[in-house]
Amino acid sequence: MRHALLFSVFVIASCGLAYELIAGALASYLLGDSVTQFSTVIGTYLFAMGAGSWLSKYITRDLIGRFIQIELMVGLLGGFSAIGLFLVFTWLPGPFQLVLYLVVFGVGVLVGLEIPLVMRILKRELAFKDLVSQVLTFDYLGALAVSILFPLVLAPQIGMVRTGLLFGLLNVGVALWALHLFRDQLPAPRWLATQSWTVFGLLLAGFAGAGQLTTLAESHLYSDEIVYAETTPYQRIVVTRWRDDLRLFLNNNLQFSSHDEYRYHEALVHPGLASLPGAKRVLVLGGGDGLAVREVLKYPSVEAVTVVDLDPAMTELFSAAPPLVALNAASLKSERVKVVNADALQWLEESREYFDFIVIDFPDPANFALGKLYTSAFYRLLEKRLSARGLVVVQSTSPLYARQSFWCVVTTLESIGFKTAPYHALVPSFGEWGFIIAGRQEFSIAAVDPEKTRFLTPETVPGLFAFPADMARLPAEVNQLNNQVLVRYFEAEWRKVIR
């Protein structure tokens, strides 16, 4: 019996941390700024656990029965937390954060009640010092197990919705096991059994229908038909279609529309590469959709293109799905292209190659994991991989909607000695969008080949480098690893636009 209860401690600790990780990850996916979301979720959860531990002193009778009911409640609330929060976000986005913290607080209180009750049940069999040491040991081991399994196996393989429901079932499993062990000591075992099997059935039905529940939620989140959706260890990938318009969303943020992506990718690649007629080696960081690579391959002088994208699911999708392969002109399958799935910063640290042209096509710096790829430290690594007369081009968010963020990237590039040439282009899906060409010498605008482009012409390119008054330069700090000021600028500016 003692060993069974100690194993139960391992399970309930695993479940409690799993619900906390699910809430933090889901909030990061939907709201951005992962540091803020995880910090506030963890803080709320730990406070709630303390409140639950304090409240446990008021449970004075039928400890085992109350423990079983608490397991059922935490299994039900925690198990359905992911899909519940997802549905709230899609249907009632206004109160989402309030609901999020209420759920986290509720789960935390229930988890805080569990361990004190287990200790009080076990105190008849163990001395106090053994009781505390063994219960806390199994508690911490359970937390360790889930902290490893969640990012490596659970979230990428079965998704957050099914992960929540799975741990809900484990909580109910603990309740049923306790019911079996202590059946003779319970005043109303049949009533507890009815409750347990009812909750088990609800969670099992939810687990079986998790795919349909997720599709239901996402069908309201995205206005168009979802043709592909996958949760990877790095992000949520969703592709939608309306008639002939394909759209890619990463973590609910639009990355491109097939109707106008050519404007973005032509502006990203051609002004810089057209000014390097002898460019042979090109590096594309990010850009796992192959669309920037498509534009690079239009230059016969380019002999080799290396694409470094963190998520293999992205490069595999855009190398295999026929509509997406047609969109990127099978660029990722070209003999001139080598695809590497790695963290760009780590790859740059280890690389010894030099490139004539480097395209940086990362998502916007919406969190600190992305913000590190816009820091002076990252650009110093980049500079070491650039040939003597090479150029870098950086997608740099909107100089209209996120004006200080845009000029922060310019300031950061200049802080390491790059000479910069900022410019912008209108992409209807995004609005005015910004780019920066950087190199060791002053940039000279060259004529683009109209045979290679649908949007840019020799006459229109010079106008991209002129900024109207409402996009003119603003003072901004250098974005460094230790301050990540760009993420704060970005969050503050886009929050105003969304409102």
pLDDT of 274? 97
Among 171-180, 405-414, 447-456, where is mean pLDDT lowest?
171-180
Percent of the chain with pLDDT over 70: 95
In this predicted model, what pLDDT tens digit does every residue of 192-224 receive, in sequence order? 999 999 999 999 999 998 877 777 777 667 778
pLDDT of 404? 97
Distance CA 280, CA 77 (A): 57
For 253, half-sphere exposure in the C-beta direction (CA atoms, 13 angstrom radius) is 19
In this predicted model, what pLDDT tens digit does every residue of 161-199 receive, in sequence order? 899 999 999 999 999 988 988 888 888 889 999 999 999
In this predicted model, what pLDDT tens digit does every residue of 91-128 receive, in sequence order? 776 788 899 999 999 999 999 998 888 888 777 665 55
Among 282-286, 372-376, 377-381, 482-486, where is mean pLDDT lowest?
482-486
The contacts of residue 196 (CB under 8 Å, 6+ apart) are: 68, 72, 172, 175, 176, 179
Q: Per-residue pLDDT averaged across 132-141, rounded?
A: 76
Q: How confident is the model at residue 131 (pLDDT cuts 50, 70, 90)?
A: low
Distance CA 412, CA 194 (A): 63
| 194, 247, 260, 375 from 244: Cα distances, Å | 52, 10, 12, 38
Which has the closest alpha carbon to 361: 305, 402, 400, 323?
305
Give the residue carrying structure tokens 């970005």.
Answer: 490
Q: Looking at per-residue confidence, does 484 or 92 come out higher?
A: 484
SS3 142: helix
| 18, 336, 443 from 76: Cα distances, Å | 14, 53, 61
Mean pLDDT of the chain: 90
* DSSP annotation string for 18-48: HHHHHHHHHHHHHH--HHHHHHHHHHHHHHH
Which has the closest alpha carbon to 164: 10, 49, 20, 44?
20
Please tell me the total number of residues recorded for the chain in this structure.
Answer: 499
Distance CA 374, CA 478 (A): 10
Distance CA 314, CA 362 (A): 13
Residue 493 has pLDDT above 70, yes or no: yes
Among 63-67, 194-198, 465-469, where is mean pLDDT lowest?
63-67
Residue type for 360, please?
Answer: I
pLDDT of 139? 78
pLDDT of 33? 62
Helices (H) and strands (E) in the chain, counts: 19, 11
Distance CA 68, CA 59 (A): 13
Classify 334 in phi/psi space as left (phi over 0), alpha (psi -120 to 50) or beta. beta
Classify 374 in phi/psi space as left (phi over 0), alpha (psi -120 to 50) or beta. alpha
* DSSP annotation string for 267-303: HHHHHHHTT-TT--EEEEEE-TTSHHHHHHTT-TT--
Vertex 474: Cα angle to 345 and 28 (nearest 5):
45
Question: What angle in degrees, to the nearest 10, is found between the helix axes of 189-208 and 210-221?
Answer: 60
Does residue 427 contact residue 400 with C-beta atoms inside 8 Å?
no
In this predicted model, what pLDDT tens digit does every residue of 296-315 receive, in sequence order? 999 999 999 999 999 999 99
Sign of CA dihedral 375, 377, 381, 384: positive
Task: Please list the active-site residues.
Answer: 361
For 422, half-sphere exposure in the C-beta direction (CA atoms, 13 angstrom radius) is 25
| 89, 162, 190 from 27: Cα distances, Å | 10, 17, 39
Domains of the chain are: 2-218 (1.20.1250.20), 223-255 (no CATH), 260-498 (3.40.50.150)
Does residue 246 contact residue 323 with C-beta atoms inside 8 Å?
yes
